[in-house]
Protein backbone atom coordinates (compact mmCIF):
# COMPACT_ATOMS: atom_id res chain seq x y z
CA UNK A 1 0.00 0.00 0.00
CA UNK A 2 1.33 3.43 -0.85
CA UNK A 3 0.39 6.58 1.07
CA UNK A 4 -2.79 7.13 -0.97
CA UNK A 5 -4.12 3.64 -0.23
CA UNK A 6 -3.30 3.97 3.46
CA UNK A 7 -5.03 7.34 3.69
CA UNK A 8 -8.32 6.05 2.29
CA UNK A 9 -8.06 2.72 4.13
CA UNK A 10 -7.73 4.58 7.44
CA UNK A 11 -10.39 7.15 6.56
CA UNK A 12 -13.14 6.00 8.92
CA UNK A 13 -15.76 8.77 9.09
CA UNK A 14 -13.22 11.44 8.14
CA UNK A 15 -13.98 13.82 5.27
CA UNK A 16 -10.75 13.81 3.24
CA UNK A 17 -9.52 17.13 1.88
CA UNK A 18 -7.10 17.49 -1.02
CA UNK A 19 -5.63 20.77 -2.25
CA UNK A 20 -4.40 21.44 -5.77
CA UNK A 21 -1.90 24.18 -6.58
CA UNK A 22 0.52 24.98 -9.39
CA UNK A 23 4.24 24.31 -8.95
CA UNK A 24 6.28 27.48 -9.31
CA UNK A 25 3.44 29.82 -8.37
CA UNK A 26 3.41 32.43 -6.95
CA UNK A 27 7.22 32.18 -6.94
CA UNK A 28 9.53 29.61 -8.48
CA UNK A 29 10.80 28.42 -5.10
CA UNK A 30 7.48 28.30 -3.24
CA UNK A 31 6.42 24.74 -4.19
CA UNK A 32 7.66 22.71 -1.21
CA UNK A 33 7.08 25.52 1.30
CA UNK A 34 3.40 25.56 0.33
CA UNK A 35 3.21 21.75 0.61
CA UNK A 36 4.62 21.83 4.14
CA UNK A 37 2.30 24.65 5.19
CA UNK A 38 -0.73 22.77 3.84
CA UNK A 39 0.16 19.58 5.71
CA UNK A 40 0.62 21.53 8.93
CA UNK A 41 -2.78 23.15 8.35
CA UNK A 42 -4.51 19.76 8.22
CA UNK A 43 -4.78 18.91 4.51
CA UNK A 44 -4.93 15.15 3.84
CA UNK A 45 -3.22 14.95 0.45
CA UNK A 46 -1.83 17.26 -2.21
CA UNK A 47 -2.03 17.61 -5.97
CA UNK A 48 0.85 19.64 -7.36
CA UNK A 49 0.21 20.81 -10.90
CA UNK A 50 3.02 21.04 -13.40
CA UNK A 51 2.27 23.98 -15.72
CA UNK A 52 1.59 23.73 -19.43
CA UNK A 53 1.26 26.48 -22.02
CA UNK A 54 -2.18 25.37 -23.25
CA UNK A 55 -4.25 24.31 -20.21
CA UNK A 56 -7.54 23.81 -22.06
CA UNK A 57 -9.49 22.25 -19.16
CA UNK A 58 -8.56 24.97 -16.69
CA UNK A 59 -10.44 28.13 -15.85
CA UNK A 60 -8.82 31.59 -15.72
CA UNK A 61 -7.40 31.29 -12.19
CA UNK A 62 -5.37 28.15 -12.84
CA UNK A 63 -4.52 29.29 -16.37
CA UNK A 64 -3.03 32.46 -14.89
CA UNK A 65 -1.03 30.47 -12.32
CA UNK A 66 0.34 28.20 -15.07
CA UNK A 67 1.38 31.16 -17.21
CA UNK A 68 3.06 32.83 -14.23
CA UNK A 69 4.83 29.60 -13.23
CA UNK A 70 6.21 29.14 -16.74
CA UNK A 71 7.43 32.74 -16.74
CA UNK A 72 9.07 32.04 -13.38
CA UNK A 73 11.03 29.21 -15.02
CA UNK A 74 9.11 26.14 -13.81
CA UNK A 75 9.50 22.90 -15.77
CA UNK A 76 9.36 19.22 -14.88
CA UNK A 77 13.14 19.16 -14.52
CA UNK A 78 13.05 22.09 -12.10
CA UNK A 79 10.12 20.58 -10.21
CA UNK A 80 11.83 17.23 -9.64
CA UNK A 81 14.94 19.07 -8.44
CA UNK A 82 12.79 20.97 -5.93
CA UNK A 83 11.01 17.81 -4.79
CA UNK A 84 14.26 16.12 -3.75
CA UNK A 85 13.62 17.64 -0.31
CA UNK A 86 9.92 16.72 -0.31
CA UNK A 87 9.97 13.69 1.97
CA UNK A 88 12.16 15.34 4.57
CA UNK A 89 9.43 17.94 5.04
CA UNK A 90 6.09 16.41 3.97
CA UNK A 91 4.53 13.10 5.04
CA UNK A 92 1.07 13.14 3.44
CA UNK A 93 0.38 11.69 -0.03
CA UNK A 94 1.49 13.86 -2.95
CA UNK A 95 0.33 13.54 -6.55
CA UNK A 96 1.48 15.37 -9.65
CA UNK A 97 -1.18 16.62 -12.05
CA UNK A 98 -0.82 18.00 -15.55
CA UNK A 99 -1.17 17.48 -19.26
CA UNK A 100 0.45 14.65 -21.17
CA UNK A 101 2.64 16.76 -23.49
CA UNK A 102 5.26 17.72 -20.87
CA UNK A 103 5.36 14.09 -19.69
CA UNK A 104 5.99 12.81 -23.23
CA UNK A 105 8.70 15.43 -23.75
CA UNK A 106 10.35 14.42 -20.47
CA UNK A 107 9.93 10.73 -21.31
CA UNK A 108 7.26 8.62 -19.60
CA UNK A 109 9.71 6.15 -18.07
CA UNK A 110 12.01 8.94 -16.89
CA UNK A 111 9.01 10.78 -15.48
CA UNK A 112 7.84 7.74 -13.50
CA UNK A 113 11.34 7.04 -12.19
CA UNK A 114 11.74 10.67 -11.14
CA UNK A 115 8.39 10.52 -9.33
CA UNK A 116 9.50 7.44 -7.41
CA UNK A 117 12.88 8.97 -6.58
CA UNK A 118 11.33 12.02 -4.88
CA UNK A 119 8.45 10.21 -3.16
CA UNK A 120 5.49 11.11 -5.37
CA UNK A 121 2.61 8.66 -4.84
CA UNK A 122 0.44 9.15 -7.89
CA UNK A 123 -0.18 11.02 -11.11
CA UNK A 124 -3.23 12.64 -12.72
CA UNK A 125 -2.85 13.14 -16.47
CA UNK A 126 -6.39 13.79 -17.74
CA UNK A 127 -5.53 13.73 -21.45
CA UNK A 128 -3.57 10.46 -21.36
CA UNK A 129 -5.91 8.02 -23.17
CA UNK A 130 -6.96 5.07 -21.06
CA UNK A 131 -6.13 2.48 -23.73
CA UNK A 132 -2.68 4.03 -24.21
CA UNK A 133 -2.01 3.90 -20.48
CA UNK A 134 -3.15 0.28 -20.31
CA UNK A 135 -1.25 -0.93 -23.36
CA UNK A 136 1.96 1.13 -23.17
CA UNK A 137 2.56 2.66 -19.76
CA UNK A 138 0.77 0.73 -17.03
CA UNK A 139 3.74 -1.51 -16.26
CA UNK A 140 6.07 1.49 -15.94
CA UNK A 141 3.69 3.22 -13.52
CA UNK A 142 3.29 0.07 -11.43
CA UNK A 143 7.03 -0.68 -11.36
CA UNK A 144 7.54 2.75 -9.82
CA UNK A 145 4.70 2.46 -7.29
CA UNK A 146 2.60 5.17 -8.92
CA UNK A 147 -1.18 5.30 -8.83
CA UNK A 148 -2.59 6.62 -12.11
CA UNK A 149 -5.77 8.53 -11.30
CA UNK A 150 -8.56 8.57 -13.88
CA UNK A 151 -11.31 11.17 -14.22
CA UNK A 152 -15.04 10.49 -14.46
CA UNK A 153 -17.57 13.06 -15.69
CA UNK A 154 -21.38 13.09 -15.69
CA UNK A 155 -21.21 11.84 -19.29
CA UNK A 156 -18.92 8.86 -18.61
CA UNK A 157 -20.62 5.56 -19.41
CA UNK A 158 -21.01 2.82 -16.83
CA UNK A 159 -18.87 0.52 -18.97
CA UNK A 160 -16.00 3.01 -18.95
CA UNK A 161 -16.37 3.68 -15.22
CA UNK A 162 -16.12 -0.08 -14.54
CA UNK A 163 -12.99 -0.22 -16.68
CA UNK A 164 -11.51 2.74 -14.81
CA UNK A 165 -12.32 1.03 -11.52
CA UNK A 166 -10.46 -2.09 -12.67
CA UNK A 167 -7.40 -0.08 -13.74
CA UNK A 168 -7.25 2.21 -10.71
CA UNK A 169 -5.00 1.66 -7.70
CA UNK A 170 -5.58 4.84 -5.68
CA UNK A 171 -8.90 6.63 -6.05
CA UNK A 172 -11.22 7.84 -8.81
CA UNK A 173 -11.45 11.56 -9.50
CA UNK A 174 -15.11 12.41 -9.95
CA UNK A 175 -15.63 15.72 -11.77
CA UNK A 176 -18.68 17.52 -10.43
CA UNK A 177 -19.39 18.81 -13.94
CA UNK A 178 -17.91 18.95 -17.43
CA UNK A 179 -17.08 22.66 -17.06
CA UNK A 180 -13.58 24.07 -16.75
CA UNK A 181 -12.05 24.46 -13.31
CA UNK A 182 -13.15 27.32 -11.09
CA UNK A 183 -16.92 27.08 -11.54
CA UNK A 184 -18.83 26.97 -8.26
CA UNK A 185 -20.33 23.62 -7.34
CA UNK A 186 -24.06 23.65 -7.94
CA UNK A 187 -25.68 20.54 -6.49
CA UNK A 188 -28.82 20.30 -8.61
CA UNK A 189 -31.18 17.37 -9.02
CA UNK A 190 -29.08 16.21 -11.98
CA UNK A 191 -25.88 16.43 -9.94
CA UNK A 192 -27.45 14.54 -7.04
CA UNK A 193 -28.60 11.83 -9.46
CA UNK A 194 -25.09 11.62 -10.93
CA UNK A 195 -23.45 11.28 -7.51
CA UNK A 196 -26.07 8.72 -6.45
CA UNK A 197 -25.51 6.73 -9.65
CA UNK A 198 -21.79 6.50 -8.92
CA UNK A 199 -22.39 5.51 -5.31
CA UNK A 200 -24.87 2.81 -6.35
CA UNK A 201 -22.20 1.22 -8.55
CA UNK A 202 -20.30 0.22 -5.38
CA UNK A 203 -16.90 0.78 -6.94
CA UNK A 204 -13.85 -0.94 -5.48
CA UNK A 205 -11.89 2.32 -5.33
CA UNK A 206 -12.63 5.36 -3.18
CA UNK A 207 -13.93 8.48 -4.90
CA UNK A 208 -12.93 12.13 -4.54
CA UNK A 209 -15.00 14.95 -6.04
CA UNK A 210 -13.35 17.95 -7.68
CA UNK A 211 -14.23 21.08 -9.70
CA UNK A 212 -16.18 23.83 -7.97
CA UNK A 213 -15.32 23.11 -4.32
CA UNK A 214 -14.54 26.51 -2.84
CA UNK A 215 -16.01 26.72 0.66
CA UNK A 216 -17.20 24.71 3.66
CA UNK A 217 -20.72 24.18 2.34
CA UNK A 218 -19.53 22.79 -1.00
CA UNK A 219 -16.88 20.67 0.74
CA UNK A 220 -19.51 19.16 3.04
CA UNK A 221 -21.96 18.53 0.20
CA UNK A 222 -19.26 16.84 -1.87
CA UNK A 223 -18.08 14.62 0.97
CA UNK A 224 -21.66 13.62 1.71
CA UNK A 225 -21.43 11.77 -1.61
CA UNK A 226 -17.76 10.76 -1.76
CA UNK A 227 -14.73 9.84 0.34
CA UNK A 228 -13.03 13.16 -0.25
CA UNK A 229 -13.12 16.50 -2.05
CA UNK A 230 -10.51 18.44 -4.00
CA UNK A 231 -10.10 22.22 -3.84
CA UNK A 232 -8.12 23.91 -6.60
CA UNK A 233 -9.04 27.32 -8.00
CA UNK A 234 -10.13 28.80 -4.66
CA UNK A 235 -6.76 27.95 -3.14
CA UNK A 236 -4.74 29.07 -6.17
CA UNK A 237 -6.61 32.39 -5.98
CA UNK A 238 -5.46 32.73 -2.36
CA UNK A 239 -1.85 32.27 -3.47
CA UNK A 240 -2.17 35.43 -5.53
CA UNK A 241 -2.80 37.50 -2.40
CA UNK A 242 -0.16 39.22 -0.31
CA UNK A 243 0.98 37.34 2.81
CA UNK A 244 -0.71 34.18 1.49
CA UNK A 245 1.34 31.86 3.72
CA UNK A 246 -0.14 33.35 6.88
CA UNK A 247 -3.67 32.97 5.45
CA UNK A 248 -3.43 29.28 4.55
CA UNK A 249 -4.26 27.81 8.00
CA UNK A 250 -7.40 29.95 8.28
CA UNK A 251 -8.45 29.01 4.73
CA UNK A 252 -8.16 25.30 5.55
CA UNK A 253 -10.00 25.70 8.89
CA UNK A 254 -12.87 27.44 7.14
CA UNK A 255 -13.04 24.73 4.47
CA UNK A 256 -13.16 21.90 6.97
CA UNK A 257 -15.40 23.78 9.39
47 is known as an active-site residue: yes
Mean pLDDT by 10 residues, the chain (257 residues): 93 93 98 98 98 80 95 98 97 97 97 98 96 97 97 94 96 79 52 89 95 90 94 96 96 95
Residue 10: partners with Cβ closer than 8 Å, 6 or more residues away: none
- Looking at 47, 67, 135, 143, which residue is catalytic? 47
Domain range summary for the chain, segments of one domain joined by +: 15-149+215-256
- Looking at 39, 44, 58, 121, which residue is catalytic? 58
Which long-range CB contacts under 8 A does 4-7 form with residues at least 24 apart? 4/45, 4/93, 4/95, 4/121, 4/122, 4/147, 4/170, 4/171, 5/147, 5/169, 5/170, 7/44, 7/45, 7/92, 7/93
Q: How confident is the model at residue 186, as a pLDDT?
A: 52
Q: How confident is the model at residue 180, as a pLDDT?
A: 47
Q: How confident is the model at residue 189, as a pLDDT?
A: 60
CB 171 within 8 A of CB 4: yes
Residue 93: partners with Cβ closer than 8 Å, 6 or more residues away: 2, 3, 4, 7, 44, 45, 46, 121, 122
Architecture label for domain 15-149+215-256: Alpha-Beta Barrel (3.20)
Measured distance CA(198)–CA(201) in Å, rounded: 5
Measured distance CA(206)–CA(194) in Å, rounded: 16
159 is known as an active-site residue: no
Helices 244-256 and 31-41, packing angle to 10 deg: 40
Measured distance CA(68)–CA(237) in Å, rounded: 13
Query: Shortest CA distance to 82 belongs to which of 6, 143, 22?
Result: 22
Rounded to a whole number of angstroms, the distance between the first and last alpha carbons of the chain is 30
Radius of gyration of the chain (CA): 17
Amino acid sequence: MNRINRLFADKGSKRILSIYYTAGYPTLESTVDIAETLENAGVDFLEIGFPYSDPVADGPVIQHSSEAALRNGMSLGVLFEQLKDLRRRVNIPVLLMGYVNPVLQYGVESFCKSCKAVGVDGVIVPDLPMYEYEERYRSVFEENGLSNIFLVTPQTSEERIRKIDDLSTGFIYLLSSSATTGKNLSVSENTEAYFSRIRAMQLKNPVAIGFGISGHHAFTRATDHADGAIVGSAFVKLLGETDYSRKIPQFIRQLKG
